Amino acid sequence: MARIIAIANQKGGVGKTTTCVNLAASLAAMKQRVLLVDLDPQGNATMGSGIDKYAVQRSIYDVLVHRTPVAQALCPTGESAFDVLPANGDLTAAEVELLELDNKERRLRTVLQEVADNYAYILIDCPPSLNMLTLNGLVAADGVIIAMQCEYYALEGLTALMSTIARIAQTLNRDLQVEGILRTMYDPRNSLTNEVSAQLHEHFGQKVYRTVVPRNVRLAEAPSHGVPAMYYDRYSRGSKAYMALAGEIIRREEKLAATARPEMVPTGPLQGEAG
């Protein structure tokens, strides 16, 4: 069963889509089966994965609104080795149309169950706003990765987002939790960056990923070539950061699985013990 992770932030321009695409590619490079769900009408994650959003026959819009089977809308990425459930401008209409449908907040959660057994990770790229699409992403997810810059206004946005996640966990998705906080566009030479980073560690502790994503030209250039950064310049600092993040996420999952596993209980006499 897939671990479903939403990458979210109500503030735009924080590297959310960049994180979704490059994390998907990095997890896939580590032999994990990955599905990227583009839930943003801009379709940037779709294009950044090398899929022409204008040419897709079916998209996440058809899946959510018309209940088209997920398998009919999936697009493979070839060399990047992960699948994409694409989005384009049609998805804008879904924000309105979903309001008229039954179980409108749970549509994505329901349809992802069709393919959850086929993947190790399903990553959801949420829009940079709190609307019905973002709500669907958070209700479908097991956890949330919050991508954020280390700046003053980002802290204010983080407070609002944490409040939103808490409300959804109380009402619509009891299992929802913060998977981790990822510091993006990180510049350690900036004193404000270090100050905000210290505050994050103080308030969120181990929820803050050790990995930081630096400001990197190659990360910014890769989407225009329709490939994740690791296939544009695998030796760039940005590519290496997302590979490190993928490794950190996998290790966390393994650690959680180990702690959740019941200890072995001997079923017979121990060696040297009388029967």
Domains of the chain, by residue range, sit at 3-259
What is the structure's pLDDT at 184?
Answer: 95
pTM of the model: 0.92
107 contacts: CB under 8 Å, gap ≥ 6: 64, 98, 101, 136
Residue 101 makes CB contacts below 8 A (sequence gap 6+) with 65, 107
- Which amino acid does the sequence have at 237? R
Beta bridge partners of 75: 84
| Arch. (CATH architecture) of 3-259 | 3-Layer(aba) Sandwich (3.40)
The predicted-structure confidence for 2-32, as pLDDT tens digits, reads as follows: 999 999 998 888 899 999 999 999 999 999 9
Q: Is residue 36 scored above 70 in pLDDT?
A: yes
pLDDT tens string 52-106: 999 999 999 999 999 999 999 999 999 999 999 999 999 999 988 998 888 999 9
Q: Which two tokens stand for residue 191?
A: 């004193």
The confidence score (pLDDT) of residue 272 equals 42
pLDDT at 237: 96
Exposed / middle / buried, residue 258 (Cβ in 10 Å: 0-12, 13-18, 19+)? exposed
pLDDT in tens, 205-245: 999 999 999 999 999 999 999 999 999 999 999 999 999 99
